[in-house]
């Protein structure tokens, strides 16, 4: 597959560097990796959810996780980078996913850690692979979506940033349809001083305004209240987050066409039992890349791949 932002070889030629380390915590059910420079990433096996990503020698946390997030597998984690698959939002009638819960099942089940790959030369990096297969789904989800599939989710930490890529394989003989989204919660210092660039003149569906369609008329978006917008068919690959006018994050889509921007603001935050602190909306911003406009159709035996690269610009 030829993609504009295809990852470079994780083992480039060059001088050898100290290798990253990988740690599996059986009690917490997490897999974490640390680069020689101190940057870290942590992934919870439940949902294959990225729950921490620190750069700057491990000092700067880049993702927001609720203080009341549930870690025991009884519900999806509030925060980090949950995976939305195979449906985005509430299930729709008369579709193969209509019996599934909101945002599908990928964030609701335990994934298998498939192993890691570390760079041995050139730029230091480490890739963690996680798998989810139809044969391992809990019965309730298998009955609701009785299709043969395989998912491989790759989380790569490097000095460049954090890359998260999903590969979807249709292991059956008949085609199926799916949607996919990475529900990334970025940590910001002050939402009132935060702006988003790269979505000017784009069309979006505004869920705050009864899912009506609009066009963004300004080059930058500021958050001054509840925001829940799904930008469809975004032309620019990069959505940039600025704090006080200074670059903070670049979110670069890879083989994905849509971007959701979400902040619950005051009232909605109060209504979520697992959202804490109540004013935590001031320190988080969701910039979510995905394929959610219609459905991706995957023929039997075929594979699809898409994801993102997030750069922390501090």
Q: Is residue 102 annotated as involved in ligand binding?
A: yes
28 is in an annotated binding site: no
State the pairing for strand pair 284-298/238-243: unpaired
Catalytic annotation present for 215: no
- Respond yes or no: is residue 183 known to be catalytic: yes
Catalytic pick from 183, 215, 243, 305? 183
**β-bridge partners, 286:** 185, 262
8 Å CB contact between 310 and 250 = yes
d(CA 145, CA 85): 11
Q: Please give the span between the terminal C-alpha atoms of the chain, in angstroms, as a whole number.
A: 32
Structure tokens that stand for 308 in this block: 């993102």
Residue that has been written with the tokens 């971007």 in this structure: 259
**Per-residue b or e along 173-209, where b marks 16 or more CB atoms closer than 10 Å to that residue's CB:** eeebebbbbbbbbbbbeebeebbbbbbeebebbebee
* DSSP type of residue 99: T
Q: Is 78 annotated as a binding residue?
A: yes
Q: Is 6 helix (H, G, I), strand (E, B) or coil?
A: coil
Largest CA distance in the chain: 56
- Active-site annotation holder among 42, 202, 243, 288: 288
Name the helix (H) or strand (E) containing 288: strand 284-298
Nearest Cα to Cα of residue 304 among 156, 133, 132, 166: 166
Beta strands 194-197 and 238-243 are antiparallel
DSSP string, 188-247: -S-GGGEEEES-TT-EEEEGGGTTEEEE--SSEEE-SS-EEEEE-S-S-SEEEEEETTEE
Annotated binding site: 78, 102, 107
Instruction: List, by residue number, the catalytic residues.
Output: 183, 288
Binding site for substrate: which residues?
A: 78, 102, 107
């Amino acid at each position: 597959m030829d993609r504009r932002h295809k990852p470079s070889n994780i083992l480039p030629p060059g001088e050898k560097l100290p290798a990253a380390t990988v740690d599996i915590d059986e009690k917490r059910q997490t897999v974490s990796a640390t680069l020689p420079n101190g940057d870290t990433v942590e992934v919870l096996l439940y949902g294959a959810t990225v729950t921490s990503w620190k750069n700057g020698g491990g000092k700067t946390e880049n993702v927001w996780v609720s203080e009341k997030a549930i870690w025991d597998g009884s519900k999806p984690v509030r925060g980090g980078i949950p995976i939305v698959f195979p449906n985005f939002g509430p299930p729709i009638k008369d579709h193969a996913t209509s019996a599934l819960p909101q945002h599908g099942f990928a964030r609701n089940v335990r994934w298998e850690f498939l192993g890691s790959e570390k760079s041995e030369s050139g730029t230091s990096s480490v890739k963690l692979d996680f798998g989810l297969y139809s044969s391992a789904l809990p019965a309730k989800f298998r009955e609701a979506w009785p299709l043969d599939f395989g998912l491989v989710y790759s989380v790569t930490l490097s000095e460049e940033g954090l890359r998260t890529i999903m590969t979807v394989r249709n292991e059956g003989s008949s085609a199926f349809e799916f949607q996919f989204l990475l529900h990334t919660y970025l940590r910001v210092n002050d939402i009132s001083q935060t702006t988003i660039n790269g979505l000017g003149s784009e069309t979006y569906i505004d869920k705050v305004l009864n899912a009506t369609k609009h066009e963004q008329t300004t080059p930058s978006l500021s958050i001054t209240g509840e925001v829940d917008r799904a930008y469809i068919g975004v032309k620019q690959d990069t959505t940039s987050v600025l704090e006080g006018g200074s670059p903070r994050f670049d979110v670069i889509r890879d083989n994905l066409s849509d971007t959701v921007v979400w902040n619950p603001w005051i009232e909605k935050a109060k209504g979520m039992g697992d959202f804490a602190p109540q004013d935590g909306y001031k320190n988080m911003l969701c910039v979510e890349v995905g394929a959610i406009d219609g459905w991706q159709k995957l023929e039997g035996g075929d594979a699809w791949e898409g994801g993102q690269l997030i750069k922390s610009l501090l």
